[in-house]
Structure 1
């Protein structure tokens, strides 16, 4: 009887076996106040549409294991992250459809500031603490501006890359919405130099909102399938990208223009 009780206690206290997946994919989506309500809706519907696409479903089902782990988190300032859909196992079209519906039914307003560094650190902890073991770990970060809040982006990126996590980017280079004053003409270069990194890292710039859904679909397929495709910007290690880029440009723009945001 004592042996039986001991065995039961061991079973109850033993950690659950983690689920193996092809990729643990953290979708980190910018909802800072530089984004208009219409742009926020385009983002959510764009991700939902991509998850329903035949290309993405084929990539999920065609993997070595045939399933992925996915979470969708909206971010803004250094401590402003909200989990819209928690870590979820996706194996087929029905599960992808259910995930997409949860994104579409979420319509919270935007948050303040832009902290890519905060999003990266939050994502890294999410990848560390979930209940999955992926052949790859990927943070997929979108944004319409450079880091201007929290820790410097290079410091956060270094921590993430040292853990073997790949960072991909979706720089939003449209010129509408509320963030024109903070617009960075070469945001694609900023992402190449200061944000993305790790094995096979890439970014896909979006210059018009009509391109958004297609860009998300292409990006998800590459991330899920793990394929090495020709890419506009590509970084294999820390520090990749054009030499000498000022990765503190966002903080400098904020200091120059903060009076317009915060008032006298």
Structure 2
């Protein structure tokens, strides 16, 4: 038999329920208003910062493309991230940045995997001293890079890097894409057109192949894979003025390799002429 259980609070709810609901709704509206206001202030501050740097000449516009594809496990992704973070805290890298004609560079960083799998880790940021470099290092260090499981698409990564460069607020004397991977193109749209478009615009594409990829068993297998990986980077990835590869001898060498690579990229190549506008933004 069904019956209605009465509570000593029924009368209170009946008389004061609408008032309680109204107060609750009012509190939520106020919380939302404060959140919108805080977000508006944050966006205004970011817009003001972007306006302050828009068109600012820099020695280098540097895009870092970090491999987060399925072939990179969690430990390798963490080491990759730590390598770039450590490099921006390195006094030698800071000296290289400050020794340029303008003493500042612009940096953006993203993770990539499949053809449409890209995630910005660090939006365009000016590095003009230790504090700014440390902020970039902390942002890279603290970024959560989830494994992207739709293959390794260099073409998609280079197209995304080109879009980042086109949207850069800076005016660089040089532009460099620094792409890291332990694999070769195995999915996605063609790599060659994306590469050619960047090279035609005067952008340098440098590569850092991470050797010993795919866990191939045996010394002969590793050597064969490493040769394939190096050949792919040299023949199909890098290009443009003073392009080079900086191989990392496995995850254990990644931190040192990143430092070597950034020092070489930030340093002024002999063949780059003086003056701004050395590459064509499209």
Which residue of 142, 148, 158 corresponds with 1:120?
158
How far is 1:109 from its partner? 1.8
Matches within 5 A, 1:169-248: 169-175=207-213, 184-186=225-227, 187-227=229-269
How far is 1:228 from its partner? 5.4
Q: In the TM superposition, what whole-angstrom CA distance separates every residue of 1:63-90 from its partner, at most 9, and x where no partner exists? A: 1001000011000001000001100000
Q: What is the aligned-residue RMSD (CA, Å)?
A: 2.3
How far is 1:163 from its partner? 1.0
Which residue of 23, 29, 39 corresponds with 2:60?
23
Give the conservation status (yes or no) of the 8 Å contact 2:71–2:214: no
Match of 2:86 in 1: 49
Give the conservation status (yes or no) of the 8 Å contact 1:25–1:140: yes
Match of 2:128 in 1: 91
How far is 1:177 from its partner? 5.8
TM-score by length of 1: 0.76
More strand by share: 1
How far is 1:164 from its partner? 0.9
Unaligned 5+ runs, structure 2: 1-50, 272-282
Q: In the TM superposition, what whole-angstrom CA distance separates every residue of 1:193-242 from its partner, at most 9, and x where no partner exists? A: 0000001000011122221111101111111112359xxxxxxxxxxxxx
Match of 1:246 in 2: none
More helix by share: 2
**CA distance in structure 2 between the partners assigned to 1:185 and 1:174 by the alignment:** 6
Unaligned 5+ runs, structure 1: 1-14, 230-264
Q: Between Structure 1 and Structure 2, how many residues are aligned?
A: 215
Please give the secondary structure, in 2, of the residue aligned with 1:82.
strand
Please give the secondary structure, in 2, of the residue aligned with 1:141.
strand
**CA distance in structure 2 between the partners assigned to 1:29 and 1:106 by the alignment:** 12
Match of 1:3 in 2: none
Match of 2:8 in 1: none
Match of 2:44 in 1: none
